[in-house]
Amino acid sequence: MTIDVPQEILDALTDVDMPRLPAEAVASEKVWLASIETPIYRAGCVVVGSGAAGLRAAVEMKRRGVDAVIVSQSAWGGTSACSGSDKQTLHTANTADQGDNYRAMARAIRSGGAMDEDTAYVEAVGSSRMMASLQFLGLPLPQDPLGGTLRYQTDHDEVGRATSCGPRTSRLMVKVLAEEAIRLGVPFYNQTTAVKMLTEGEGAERHVAGMLVMRAGDRTEENPLGIALFVSDVIVLAAGGPGELYRDSVYPNGCFGSLGLALEAGLELVNLTESQFGIGTRREGFPWNLSGTYVQAIPHIYSVDGEGAEHHFLAEYYRSTQELASNIFRKGYQWPFHATRMLDFGSSLVDLAIYRETVAGRRVFMDFNRNPLPVPGDLPFDLERLDEDVRLYLGKAGAGQETPIDRLKHMNPLAIELYRRYKIDIAEEPLEFAVNNQHMNGGIMVDTWGRTNLGGCYAVGEAAGTHGVTRPGGAALNAGQVFGTRVAEHIGGGGGAKRAAAGGVPAAAEAGIANLLSALRTESSLTVKAVRSAVQARMSEKAGIICDQGSVRQALIEARELNMQIRANGLAYGRAAEAVRAVQWRHMALASEAVLSALDFFIGQGGGSRGARAICDPSGELLPLASAGPLQAYRFRKESDAHREEQIVIRLEGDEIRLSTRPNRNLDESARSFFERDWPAWLTGCIYDRGGGE
């Protein structure tokens, strides 16, 4: 950026106000179920969640005449509204300044393996439309003077398909989509948490019948916990990712997702082994990724021990000041931890080093007022002594300033503004950070229309497990937009959801409420706090970036034991408001067992290191080196090529987690569309392939 950007422009991109929600519609009737006077709401389709993905689905459905309503735990909560990286990205097509090839883009999206080829193509080919429609709704994506969208390179992105409107891109997406939803008259039910899905039928005929929720607004003497029922034959799960699973997390507070709820409803999940971890500030303060320009400004990174002594720990890993500084820079677009990048003195050695400092009880900081200190015995830091790619980038960006803070101010002033909003002035004081969990690549298994294995139930956004082992930066937001639109097309094309569900109260409702209540026991010795700290500590310590077979197996045994205790004793709650948290923590404990089961299964099948995790093994083929010598304790297994071709499927049968594998779905890249031949399938709705689903 060569022009000084006025403060009010920076403010508008940083402080993003959300629209006022319309008044909520009242329940159509009240029915006594399991001794609770239960309000009944009816809808053609219930969307669970009001993040970018859920809002997109609701807006697109409403445009197609579907009677869609949104229920949300917190209307402007969740990851899209409350988090971001320094440049929250949208993965787009039309790049390299020459137009894009959607097949090439699809190959990039699925390059980490364990991803369906058709899904990757759906995301690629849908991306231009998503971007254009967001622009139509008012998303201020930056353009050049001739109308081209400005783009840059991000994680797992070789050609620069990312774009951004600054640190609040996804919040701005929520804003424009919410404004549109309100304009279209989509009913919102806020402070409404989905707690149990109701189904009818058996086997292949089993389908959605409604959703039990807990709503503060519906608490009465006859219904102290505010249990309500949404009757609907179609449900779109858009509840985001399971951010609360890990103690060390850069998700905003209160992200529970819907994995536990989905397992209980018999939904199949995939790829739960695959997540993203990377450096960021934790949710206890202000959760934010330290990617992009934060690290491209090349701050000094150091740790402080219990006695207050400072340690230049990265110097024990890299061989020269140039290598050290260049790898800090590369975390900008190689942000997620990746095991193989620990090799050859690559950029994930930075994550490993930080992780080890944290495990040793030291606190790690980034100081923007100091350039990296030299590696002992080597030359001092110099902008002219950086690896070629780094030197060229900083040169092109005009970032030749003396200090990291001045380089950051020059390249991305919003990055500094943002922390100031949360009372942290990185121009004045060093910033504490750590390696954190940031994204769940796996989730509910869906087909190319977002359908799950349960009739009438769809999943979109981070709730859906559409990503493989890696995903290009921005692909999460893009996938949510593409699949939000796809489910709307599918549901709208079916016609059934155009009117609110009529008929009686689903037969499963009474038993559903009774089951919910039986798991909530004021006298239980198991508290939400205890379950939360057990689950989060276990996941961060045993299922983080560094894993091994023994610890994962032990963690799984403990997770199973916890779920057995929860089944036997229920979870305690005090005030009514805590009851919903108790249900969510019951779901999280189950989700944690599912992730650990999948990891244990994967490692047991000879699974190697890929994506988020290094699977350490004394007989592993790969050994990361540090300047001080080989890091024997972190010798790790190589990824097996065969595992790239399949996905681990997880489901709950009774109280048991069951695991299996399925091959990735393929895409025939040689197939060509032919207008006259293919048009009738579109005209008649045959493209929706209604054989199995809704």
Q: 354 or 552, CB closer to ligand FAD?
A: 354
Residue among 477, 90, 419 nearest 281 (CA):
419
Q: Does 512 bind ligand FAD (CB under 6 A)?
A: no
The region of 79-87, 98-106, 422-430, 598-606 touching ligand FAD under the rule CB under 6 A is 79-87
Site string for ligand FAD, 150-189 (x = CB under 6 A): --------------------x-------------------
Minimal distance, residue 107 CB to ligand FAD, in Å:
19
Q: Does 570 bind ligand FAD (CB under 6 A)?
A: no
Q: 213 or 615, CB closer to ligand FAD?
A: 213
Q: 192 or 448, CB closer to ligand FAD?
A: 192
Strand, coil or helix: 223:
strand
Q: 77 or 112, CB closer to ligand FAD?
A: 77
The residue within the footprint of ligand FAD, chosen from 72, 95, 321, 485 (CB under 6 A), is 72
Residue among 447, 414, 430 nearest 688 (CA):
447
Residues in contact with ligand FAD, counted by CB under 6 A, come to a total of 47
Are 16 and 134 a contacting pair, CB within 8 Å?
no
The region of 65-73, 317-325, 645-653, 665-673 touching ligand FAD under the rule CB under 6 A is 65-73
- Helix (H) / strand (E) element for 46: namely strand 45-48
Q: Does 480 bind ligand FAD (CB under 6 A)?
A: yes
622 Cβ contact list (under 8 Å, min separation 6): 339, 340, 343, 609, 635, 636, 637, 638
The region of 74-82, 196-204, 267-275, 383-391 touching ligand FAD under the rule CB under 6 A is 74-82
Beta-bridge partner residues of 149:
143
Q: Give residue 160's identity as a one-letter amino acid code.
A: G
User: What tokens were used for 608?
Assistant: 């190697």
Q: Does 335 bind ligand FAD (CB under 6 A)?
A: no
The residue within the footprint of ligand FAD, chosen from 21, 42, 88, 556 (CB under 6 A), is 88
Q: Does 439 bind ligand FAD (CB under 6 A)?
A: yes
The region of 96-104, 309-317, 471-479, 538-546 touching ligand FAD under the rule CB under 6 A is 471-479
**How many Å apart are CA 130 and CA 408, to the nearest integer?**
30
Q: Does 485 bind ligand FAD (CB under 6 A)?
A: no
The residue within the footprint of ligand FAD, chosen from 13, 53, 235, 325 (CB under 6 A), is 53
Q: Does 92 bind ligand FAD (CB under 6 A)?
A: no
The residue within the footprint of ligand FAD, chosen from 38, 85, 597, 664 (CB under 6 A), is 85
Are 478 and 56 a contacting pair, CB within 8 Å?
no
Q: Does 80 bind ligand FAD (CB under 6 A)?
A: yes
Residue among 536, 587, 477 nearest 212 (CA):
587
Minimal distance, residue 478 CB to ligand FAD, in Å:
6
The residue within the footprint of ligand FAD, chosen from 89, 223, 609, 627 (CB under 6 A), is 89
The residue within the footprint of ligand FAD, chosen from 417, 462, 593, 617 (CB under 6 A), is 462
Site string for ligand FAD, 592-621 (x = CB under 6 A): ------------------------------
Are 417 and 14 a contacting pair, CB within 8 Å?
yes
- Helix (H) / strand (E) element for 197: namely strand 192-200
Task: Outline where 544-674 has alpha helix (H).
Answer: 549-569, 576-604, 641-644
Task: Outline where 443-474 has alpha helix (H).
Answer: none
Minimal distance, residue 464 CB to ligand FAD, in Å:
8
| Backbone angles phi and psi of 464, in degrees to 5 | -90, 145
Q: Does 336 bind ligand FAD (CB under 6 A)?
A: no
Q: 172 or 386, CB closer to ligand FAD?
A: 172
**How many Å apart are CA 694 and CA 681, to the nearest integer?**
18
Provide the CA 138 distance to its chain's centre, in angstroms.
Answer: 24
Q: 38 or 193, CB closer to ligand FAD?
A: 193
Minimal distance, residue 189 CB to ligand FAD, in Å:
9
Pairing of strands 235-237, 457-459: parallel
Minimal distance, residue 343 CB to ligand FAD, in Å:
26
Residue that is written with structure tokens 């489910």 in the block: 487
Residue among 284, 297, 240, 619 nearest 424 (CA):
284
Beta-bridge partner residues of 625:
630
Residue among 74, 105, 81, 101 nearest 91 (CA):
105
Residue among 255, 339, 365 nearest 544 (CA):
339
Q: 431 or 463, CB closer to ligand FAD?
A: 463
Are 586 and 519 a contacting pair, CB within 8 Å?
yes
The residue within the footprint of ligand FAD, chosen from 21, 47, 60, 78 (CB under 6 A), is 78
Are 58 and 186 a contacting pair, CB within 8 Å?
yes
Window 281-320: residues binding ligand FAD (CB under 6 A): 287-289
The region of 42-50, 226-234, 450-458, 602-610 touching ligand FAD under the rule CB under 6 A is 42-50
Residue among 32, 191, 67, 47 nearest 509 (CA):
32
Q: Does 127 bind ligand FAD (CB under 6 A)?
A: no
The region of 228-236, 348-356, 410-418, 459-467 touching ligand FAD under the rule CB under 6 A is 459-467
User: What tokens were used for 689?
Assistant: 């392939």
The region of 3-11, 235-243, 530-538, 601-609 touching ligand FAD under the rule CB under 6 A is 235-243
274 Cβ contact list (under 8 Å, min separation 6): 114, 440, 441, 442, 467, 468, 469, 611, 612
**How many Å apart are CA 555 and CA 542, to the nearest integer?**
7
Q: Does 267 bind ligand FAD (CB under 6 A)?
A: no
**How many Å apart are CA 490 and CA 245, to the nearest integer?**
32
Q: 88 or 293, CB closer to ligand FAD?
A: 88
Q: Give residue 387's identity as a one-letter amino acid code.
A: D
The residue within the footprint of ligand FAD, chosen from 39, 44, 54, 611 (CB under 6 A), is 54
The residue within the footprint of ligand FAD, chosen from 45, 255, 390, 612 (CB under 6 A), is 255
The region of 72-80, 224-232, 504-512, 515-523 touching ligand FAD under the rule CB under 6 A is 72-80
Residue among 546, 658, 561 nearest 603 (CA):
546
The region of 28-36, 457-465, 521-529, 660-668 touching ligand FAD under the rule CB under 6 A is 457-465
Q: 239 or 588, CB closer to ligand FAD?
A: 239
Q: Does 73 bind ligand FAD (CB under 6 A)?
A: yes
| Backbone angles phi and psi of 457, in degrees to 5 | -110, 125
Q: Give residue 458's identity as a one-letter amino acid code.
A: Y
Rule CB under 6 A: which residues touch ligand FAD?
48-54, 71-74, 77-80, 83-85, 88-89, 170, 193-194, 238-241, 250-251, 255-256, 258, 280, 287-289, 438-439, 461-463, 473-477, 480
